[in-house]
Amino acid sequence: MDFMLRSSVTIHVPSRSVVLGDEPTAREELEGTDLTMPVPDLSCLEVGSSALSEKVKEASLNNEQKNKLTELLETFSDREHLRQLQLNDPVTGKLLKMLEGKGESNAEELSQYVIQDGLLYFVDDKVSCNLHPMKRLKLEAHDHARSVLSESHAKRKKYYDQRRRSVSYSVDELVRVKTHPRSDALANFTAKLAPVYTGPYRITQKLSEVNYRLIDVKTGAGAGVFHVANLLPFRTWDSHVETETVPADGSAVEATTDSSLLNDMPEETSSGATAMN
């Protein structure tokens, strides 16, 4: 296997061997070091070289054996240091962990590489689920729009409630219902000429502060549920006008005592009476 390091040096090493990155402190240590020697398993060395050197000095060996063991320990110490350097390297560390951690990949496993924008990348072992940045921006924009709309609706509701007077109806009260007709050319019907309110209807149930269930007084059939904004109290002339009989020249004169009815009368009548006078 051929690996190009970040420096301009190509090192030919077999698989599962130590590959050193571009470390300035490691170049001096590389002089005279054989990098083509395969590393069996350096991760199994749990005892440091200093501890082994002390054990060698205490052992009952001759000088030649002690010298050979000391050279061997120094070799292990150098390679352990090299291994630690390349594990800390961001490029060769991933490569070494992949070579020592996984064997040959088969068809059942996922690919260890991914091609993106014409470049080959390592697949990270850590699987993290996260939203795409564009998707996150869309969600943030939607959340911002919802917050602005909710504030706008609350503000409009506040000013609307200040102008609206509360209206409440009781059960068995007669009301009129606002109609919403549509013009029909085939039936020769014009919506603007239709009455705005129809009735009377009787309230049979108060579902909430603003919803009432009604029935038709004439047929007794259910009319449905209506909002209080589409209801008006049903009044007749008898409910607004009280008549008094005043004897004057043998004739009865009806006097109107309800001032609200006089205020509700159209202005055309008063202007016409003034013109006649």
User: Would residue 50 count as lying in a domain?
Assistant: yes
- Of 122, 137, 154, which marks where a domain is finished? 122
pLDDT in tens, the chain (277 residues): 444 433 333 334 333 344 444 444 444 444 444 444 444 444 444 445 556 566 656 666 677 777 776 776 666 666 676 777 777 877 777 777 766 655 544 444 555 566 667 676 666 666 666 778 888 899 999 999 999 999 999 999 888 877 767 788 889 999 999 988 888 888 888 888 888 898 899 999 999 888 999 999 988 888 899 988 889 899 887 765 444 444 445 444 444 444 444 444 445 444 444 434 4
Say whether 1 sits in a helix, a strand or coil: coil
User: Would residue 194 count as lying in a domain?
Assistant: yes
Which domain, by its residues, includes 190?
174-234
The answer for residues whose C-beta is within 8 angstroms of residue 201's C-beta and 6 or more apart is 174, 175, 176, 177, 214, 215, 216, 217, 223, 234
One domain, residues 103 and 21: yes
User: Would residue 223 count as lying in a domain?
Assistant: yes
Residue identified by tokens 């606002």 is 178
User: Would residue 64 count as lying in a domain?
Assistant: yes
- Of 57, 90, 122, which marks where a domain is finished? 122
Q: Which two tokens mark 256?
A: 């109107």
Contact 230, 178 (CB under 8 A): yes
CA-wise closest residue to 41 among 60, 21, 18: 18
Bridge partners of 213, per DSSP, are 205, 225
Q: Which amino acid, 24?
A: P
Say whether 177 sits in a helix, a strand or coil: strand
Contact 251, 189 (CB under 8 A): no
One domain, residues 116 and 183: no
Q: List strand residue ranges (DSSP E) for the chain, in order.
A: 2-4, 10-12, 113-116, 119-122, 174-178, 197-206, 211-216, 222-227, 231-233
One domain, residues 113 and 179: no
Provide the domain count of the chain: 2
One domain, residues 115 and 178: no
Rounded distance between C-alpha atoms, residue 83 and residue 42, angstroms = 8
One domain, residues 20 and 118: yes
Contact 86, 21 (CB under 8 A): yes
User: Would residue 200 count as lying in a domain?
Assistant: yes
One domain, residues 104 and 180: no
Residue 188, sorted as left (phi over 0), alpha (psi -120 to 50) or beta, turns out to be left
The answer for residues whose C-beta is within 8 angstroms of residue 98's C-beta and 6 or more apart is 112, 122
One domain, residues 117 and 12: yes
User: Would residue 134 count as lying in a domain?
Assistant: no
One domain, residues 7 and 99: yes
User: Would residue 73 count as lying in a domain?
Assistant: yes
For the domain that residue 228 is a member of, what is the CATH number? 2.30.30
Bridge partners of 233, per DSSP, are 175
User: Would residue 105 count as lying in a domain?
Assistant: yes
Contact 10, 31 (CB under 8 A): no
Contact 36, 14 (CB under 8 A): yes
